[in-house]
């Protein structure tokens, strides 16, 4: 008598709470991007997600908790060990440009960050925590890494503000490869040039 093979386990269907959380976060990102932090309301976000406002409060507690969850962003920066020192500027600008082109969460966070203290703190935390290790790896003096990372952030966020939020022309219409060609040398200089005398 042969042993029968046990049946393959069935995939677990997504829980309803997961779908609800996803709907809330998508609605919150769109609402924060459109209205900013101050004007966005739990009621409007719940309406956009087709749920009762009490469900938003149940999952996220308050608007601040919802905002923190909605703009939790992994910048997915290149592994610092994979970059050569001389290619870091081009790699960073190319990476960020690709992210801004496809990720409305970053645009929402930038819009909120320029008008709201909580948004600004969130943006500082995301860029500081995630960009600093790369700056430490490629800059000539690790003690200068915080200042260099801040300067890189100023360039990348300045580009994002003018291209994706304020839509300055011709910055908004420049092809990505042209933006990289212009901006990469500046970012590279911030990361690796000798400290100015």
Q: What is the pLDDT of residue 125?
A: 84
pLDDT, averaged per 10 consecutive residues of the chain (197 residues), comes to 58 67 90 83 94 92 87 78 86 90 76 78 83 90 93 92 90 93 96 89
Q: What is the pLDDT of residue 56?
A: 92
Gyration radius of the chain over CA positions:
21
pTM assigned to the model: 0.73
Q: What is the pLDDT of residue 81?
A: 76
């Amino acid at each position: 008598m042969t042993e029968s093979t046990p049946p393959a386990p069935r995939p677990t269907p997504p829980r309803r709470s997961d779908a609800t959380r996803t709907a809330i976060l998508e609605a919150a990102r769109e609402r924060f991007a459109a209205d900013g932090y101050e004007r966005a309301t739990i009621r409007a976000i719940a309406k956009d997600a087709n749920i009762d406002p009490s469900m938003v409060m149940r999952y996220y507690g308050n608007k601040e908790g919802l905002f923190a969850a909605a703009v939790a962003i992994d910048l997915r920066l290149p592994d610092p060990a994979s970059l050569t020192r001389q290619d870091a500027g081009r790699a960073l600008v190319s990476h960020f440009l690709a992210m801004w082109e496809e990720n409305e969460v970053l645009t929402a966070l930038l819009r909120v960050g320029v008008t709201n203290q909580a948004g600004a703190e969130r943006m500082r935390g995301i860029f500081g925590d995630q960009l600093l290790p790369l700056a430490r790896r490629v800059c000539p003096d690790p003690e200068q890494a915080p200042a260099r990372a801040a300067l890189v952030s100023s360039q990348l966020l300045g580009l994002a503000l003018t291209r994706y939020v304020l839509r300055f022309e011709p910055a908004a219409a420049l092809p990505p490869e042209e933006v990289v060609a212009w901006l990469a040398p500046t970012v590279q200089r911030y990361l690796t040039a000798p400290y100015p005398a």
